[in-house]
Amino acid sequence: MTSPEPRSLARFAWLSIAAALVTIGLKSVAYLLTGSVGLLSDALESVVNLVAAFITLGMVSLAARPPDEDHAWGYGKAEYFSSGAEGVLILLAAFAIGWTAVPRLLAPRPLESIGLGFVISIAASIVNLVVARVLLAAGRRHQSIALEADAHHLLTDVWTSVGVLAAVVAVAITDWEILDPIIALVVAAQILWTGVKLVRRSALGLLDRALPADEQAALQAVLDRHAGTDLQFHAVRTRQAGARRFVTLHVLVPGDWSVRRGHEACERLELEISASLPNASVLTHLEAIEDPASFQDQGLDRSYSDGRPGEG
């Protein structure tokens, strides 16, 4: 049983692109006015946001394509390439910020036009915050890891901006110019950690990791409702590809059941699993509970007891 075809989320990616262009412009002006390396680091991250938004646009559009002859399982994993690429770009931005901040740490420089730069940077942060909330809601509603990654990146950008602005204010109050590059390095560390988490999450998705614990529990609850003397299950496997979830399992029934009765039991099971796990594609395999061969294929590779390949 399959789920409906995914909707294209390109409109949200275009919103992210527009926000990135606006914030790049605003933060660049703020940097030129103040000379703050912290604000420069903020502008650099917005450039990463722009590149990531274009990647997100391409991947969510690809992920929305229906399955075809060469991609029978659909294109959902394309979203992991988007979040993975975004993570790598974030890592590069973190190193670029650190490279810029270290010389300023060794040779601090006074900031200029702090007031106007402060106001402009706040405006850019508000744009990012609003767009991030929209993307996060859309990502959760449509179960898109690419949009969620983009939203969390923008939210990180917002908190980064808050830190940078705090540094600008601190320098204005204390005249400790070294605070500007120090905060920039802290920002770089935060961005680095965000990039690492995104790359890790994307890698786990590409490696067909099982569904999260809460979704596994929901699946088990359905199986527990149906399990009994005449109905058992094994070889239950789950994975996720973007917004799609895939569940496969073997359904063991008495060998004297008719094909129709076994099929109806599988249909009821698939319907309940699909209701519990949105966007789930459920595949069941019917087996006779009395047949020993039914218990030799619980692993990924079938085992045999007659000396044929795969024994043990």
Query: Quick one: pLDDT at residue 310?
Result: 45
Query: Quick one: pLDDT at residue 105?
Result: 66
Q: Which of 59-68, 216-225, 242-251 has the highest mean pLDDT?
A: 216-225
Query: Quick one: pLDDT at residue 194?
Result: 77
- Provide mean pLDDT across the span 116-130: 80
| Continuous segment of H or E residues that includes residue 120 | helix 114-142
Query: Quick one: pLDDT at residue 5?
Result: 42
| Continuous segment of H or E residues that includes residue 161 | helix 145-174
What is the pLDDT confidence band of residue 130, given thresholds at 50, 70 and 90? very high
pLDDT of 260 strictly over 90: yes
* 193 alpha carbon, distance to own chain's centre: 15
- Provide mean pLDDT across the span 77-106: 77
Query: Quick one: pLDDT at residue 312?
Result: 41
Instruction: Calculate the alpha carbon distances from 164 to 210, 257, 308 in Å.
Output: 39, 69, 66
Distance from C-alpha of 30 to C-alpha of 227, rounded to nearest angstrom: 64
Lowest mean per-residue pLDDT among 2-6, 21-25, 131-135, 240-244: 2-6
Query: Quick one: pLDDT at residue 182?
Result: 77
More confident of the two residues 33 and 80: 80
Lowest mean per-residue pLDDT among 41-50, 207-216, 301-310: 301-310
Burial class (CB in 10 A: 0-12, 13-18, 19+), 162: middle
What is the pLDDT confidence band of residue 41, given thresholds at 50, 70 and 90? low
DSSP secondary structure letters along 214-280? HHHHHHHHHHHHH-SSS-EEEEEEEEEETTEEEEEEEEEE-TTS-HHHHHHHHHHHHHHHHHHSTTE
Q: What is the pLDDT of residues 201-234, one digit of tens each?
A: 788 878 888 888 889 999 999 999 988 878 889 9
More confident of the two residues 222 and 47: 222
Query: Quick one: pLDDT at residue 1?
Result: 46
Distance from C-alpha of 45 to C-alpha of 155, rounded to nearest angstrom: 12
What is the pLDDT confidence band of residue 110, given thresholds at 50, 70 and 90? low
Distance from C-alpha of 159 to C-alpha of 125, rounded to nearest angstrom: 8
Average pLDDT, the chain: 79
DSSP code, position 80: H
Distance from C-alpha of 237 to C-alpha of 122, rounded to nearest angstrom: 48
pLDDT of 70 strictly over 50: yes
Nearest to 148, CA basis, from 247, 266, 268, 9: 9
- Provide mean pLDDT across the span 47-56: 82
- At the second CATH level, the architecture of 10-206 is Up-down Bundle (1.20)
| 3-state secondary structure at position 95 | helix
Distance from C-alpha of 55 to C-alpha of 58, rounded to nearest angstrom: 5
At the fourth CATH level, which superfamily is domain 213-295? Cation efflux protein, cytoplasmic domain (3.30.70.1350)
Q: Where are the domains of the chain?
A: 10-206, 213-295
